[in-house]
Structure 1
Amino acid sequence: RSLLRDPVLVAFIIHAFTFSIITAARGVSSEVNNASLAFIDENHSTLSRELIDAFYPPRFKRPVEIAPAEADTGMDRGLYMFVVAIPPRFEEDLIAGRRTEIQINIDATAMSQASIGAGYIRNIITQRTSSFLRRTDNRVSAPVNLVVTKAFNPNGETSWFTSVVMIINQITTISVILTGAALIRERERGTLEHLLTMPLTAYEIALAKVWANGLVILFAVATSLGLIVRMTLHVPIAGSPLLLIFGVVLYLFFATALGVFLGTLARSMAQFALLVILTNIVLQLLSGGTTPVESQPEWLRYITFFFPSRHFVAFSQAIIFRGAGLETVWPQFATVAAIGIVCFAFSMSQFRQSISVSR
């Protein structure tokens, strides 16, 4: 009831688990999409035509054939991100076994797209050329046939990873904000003194804030997984959603305890907001969701072992992407539960001390 009386906070929760996740998943992508591509075809052979026809949406726009003199002008005007130049006698040289080259001109002002797109173009041209040569008398064999198989995300869709990481980050942020803001709201409005006149212990007052706001988070996570991740973004969930929800319950012991602790430290909502920003940045950056834990310095990896967010990210990704069961993720579950219970007990003791001072 207290939460429903705060429309701004309700709107913030809805945005955090809906539009914020969609924007992060679709707005930032590491794949190439609708890249403009032009070909300078000076060979006009069957192979060069196959290479041009090998590029199509959604990764690339339909290729445009241009004259050599148009390449520099087109790239200067930003019309083409990539210009591929096929030299004369290209097909004849390949069939004869002579070395030949294809030139790829790249507009690198968009560095990420340029780098990834160059790899796409290289792979497509290599595969089509090899396929063409297998149909001729020229047998070109490589010493090793490299077969790459991608597990859990075959097409490398960024939205699959980003949407799940966003939910994980939002759980931490919203849990801390809701519980801490609930305590500070009681203090600022003077209703905390009313609660102290009732036959209630500090533990009961804090626990009421924890379980009520934790229930809101659970409902938001379940709804977001079903409506946003699965139905809107079409991200498959390989594991059990119920197992993931159980893991969220364990993690909420830590997240809500952190909110109670920060709410006890802060004397105003402005102080609390600053503490939340500082704390969440550290938890999110070191959890392994933004960058892999293995990329962190060795001394820092030992410290992050005591961060429940690191283990939460680990078992969430294992359940959602790899279909892991309880027999696989129980060590992370146990670690999160143990750290969460310790933090919960410490936060309750700090809140009890602050209540006793108020009395």
Structure 2
Amino acid sequence: MNLQRLWVLVLKEIRQIRRNRSLIVSLIVPPTLQILMFGFALNPTVSRLRLGVVDASRTRESRDLVAAFTANGTFVRRGDYASVREMESGLSAGRLDAGLVIPPDFARDRLRSRDASSGSFAAPTQLFIDATNANTAGIAQGYAAGILNAYNGGNGGTRSALRTNIALLYNPGLVSSWFVVAGTIGILIVLNGSLVAAATTIKEKEEGTIEQLLMTPADTGEIIAAKMTPLFVLLFLDVVLALAVAHTAFALPVRGNLGIFLLAGALCALTGIGIGTFIATFTKTGLQAQLLTFFVNPPLALLSGATTPIEAMPPWLQPWTLLNPVRHFATISRTVLIKGGGFTAVWENFLALSVFAFVLLFLSIRRFRDQLE
């Protein structure tokens, strides 16, 4: 590959984009407006809550307490953990919505509190709730209070028989917009990237500029790289812009490594370009490309878990969301920005997002190269 020729072609693409004011506007204005609308207007729903349990008591009383939490399906038991630290790792990685910690002396302390005339002894238990999704956390807190009241009433009726310390993790203020905004960034980048990549490629097909490029000394690899580079830079700047707007307008925190988030954003941008270019290789007109992107993009948005929890979807549908690259970006975004998680907490999502990005790019470049040749 001749870097000098590549640079000349990149400059040519930059000049062409600068002349296309509507393209620049479509990359800047919609993400800004959409991040505001998604953050202010949407309110995610919740259904089943994944519960992890640390049962150090292992008695009938502790099993009764866990059964009280899972009796009506509000909480679904998703695992038993040997320690609080292990359970907190599950919360940080997004595998759990809540964690119940039952101490070793739970049964003995509960018997004391039941027999004590003053009811001053209380079995100390802890309930940790992942408050990344403020709506889910608020509902979980209310459900937990009702379950504990019913449990106390059904086990001797002592008013203070059981005291549980409820801790809201990561978002104690229950700011509902954080969940939506952190996930929506991925939707905006992939959807805008696919639309713009498809539109620009089809436009050059219709205008015949691709044929003109084929008459230059540049090979097909240089032409494809030159076309994708400016768009990738613009989409990456969109990631930075969306984060800046979210941080300014909604006080979205950045508790983790910003580099991890930006790397995920870069992979998300490549995914969007790959989808758009791949669509363009199957269509001949801009209208066909728009219709195909409108067919592909809504499922990417709706099945991403960006605006509503994956757990709120039907159980049969949830595994299919793993085939959605936006879901993996949303998980990375929330884990890094809100929870302050590191790479070890999101490496599986990084791996999946990388596979999606490079497979889509490989397929789109291969088809595009075949059409050029």
TM-score range with shorter-chain normalisation? 0.5 to 0.7
Q: Which stretch shows the higher mean deviation, 1-10 or 342-351?
A: 1-10
1:16 aligns with 2:16: no
CA deviations 1:316-346 (Å, max 9, x no partner) are 2111111111222222212221232222111
The secondary structure found in structure 1 opposite 2:162 is coil
1:333 counterpart (339, 345, 350): 350
1:7 aligns with 2:9: no
The secondary structure found in structure 2 opposite 1:305 is helix
CA RMSD in angstroms, aligned pairs only = 2.7
The secondary structure found in structure 2 opposite 1:154 is coil
Q: Which runs of 5+ in 2 are unaligned?
A: 1-14, 46-137, 146-157
Structure-1 separation of matches of 2:314 and 2:221: 39
Letter in 1 for 2:288: Q
Letter in 2 for 1:321: I
Letter in 2 for 1:277: F
1:317 counterpart (328, 334, 341): 334
Letter in 1 for 2:277: V
1:181 aligns with 2:199: yes
Q: 1:338 and 1:30, CA in 2 relative to 1: closer, same or farther beyond 3 A?
A: closer
1:219 aligns with 2:237: yes
Alignment-derived partner of residue 168 in structure 1: 186
Structure-1 separation of matches of 2:369 and 2:43: 47
Letter in 1 for 2:186: I
Q: Which stretch shows the higher mean deviation, 258-267 or 297-306?
A: 297-306
Structure-2 separation of matches of 1:263 and 1:200: 21
- Give yes or no for contact 2:184–2:330 (8 Å, CA) kept in 1: no
Question: Sequence identity of aligned pairs in percent?
Answer: 26
Structure-2 separation of matches of 1:151 and 1:318: 12
1:264 counterpart (281, 305, 313): 281
Letter in 2 for 1:199: P
**CA shift at 1:250, angstroms?**
2.2
Q: 1:224 and 1:295, CA in 2 relative to 1: closer, same or farther beyond 3 A?
A: closer
- Give yes or no for contact 2:257–2:340 (8 Å, CA) kept in 1: yes
**CA shift at 1:155, angstroms?**
2.4
**CA shift at 1:195, angstroms?**
0.9
Structure-1 separation of matches of 2:309 and 2:227: 34
Q: Which runs of 5+ in 1 are unaligned?
A: 32-115, 124-139
Structure-1 separation of matches of 2:283 and 2:342: 40
**CA shift at 1:216, angstroms?**
0.4
Alignment-derived partner of residue 247 in structure 1: 264
Alignment-derived partner of residue 343 in structure 1: 360
Structure-2 separation of matches of 1:27 and 1:142: 41
1:355 aligns with 2:369: no
Q: 1:176 and 1:239, CA in 2 relative to 1: closer, same or farther beyond 3 A?
A: same
Structure-2 separation of matches of 1:230 and 1:19: 14
Structure-2 separation of matches of 1:189 and 1:257: 22
Q: Give TM-score, length-normalised by structure 2.
A: 0.62
Greater percentage in strand: 2
CA deviations 1:278-328 (Å, max 9, x no partner) are 111111112221333334445544433233222222112111111111222
- Give yes or no for contact 1:182–1:209 (8 Å, CA) kept in 2: no
Alignment-derived partner of residue 83 in structure 2: none
Structure-2 separation of matches of 1:254 and 1:200: 25
Alignment-derived partner of residue 151 in structure 1: 169
Within a 5 Å distance, the mapping from 1:174-213 to structure 2 comes to 174-213=192-231
Alignment-derived partner of residue 129 in structure 1: none
**CA shift at 1:350, angstroms?**
0.9
**CA shift at 1:157, angstroms?**
1.7
Letter in 1 for 2:325: P
Alignment-derived partner of residue 69 in structure 1: none
Structure-1 separation of matches of 2:320 and 2:43: 31
- Give yes or no for contact 1:253–1:337 (8 Å, CA) kept in 2: no
The secondary structure found in structure 1 opposite 2:168 is coil
Structure-1 separation of matches of 2:251 and 2:343: 25
Structure-1 separation of matches of 2:252 and 2:322: 29
Alignment-derived partner of residue 293 in structure 1: 310
Structure-1 separation of matches of 2:342 and 2:44: 30
CA deviations 1:228-272 (Å, max 9, x no partner) are 111222221211222101111223332211111011112111111
Structure-2 separation of matches of 1:243 and 1:22: 24
**CA shift at 1:171, angstroms?**
0.6
**CA shift at 1:29, angstroms?**
5.0
**Which of 1 and 2 has higher RCO (CA within 8 Å, sep 6+)?**
2
Letter in 2 for 1:2: Q
**CA shift at 1:168, angstroms?**
1.5
Q: Which stretch shows the higher mean deviation, 287-296 or 209-218?
A: 287-296
Structure-2 separation of matches of 1:154 and 1:354: 54
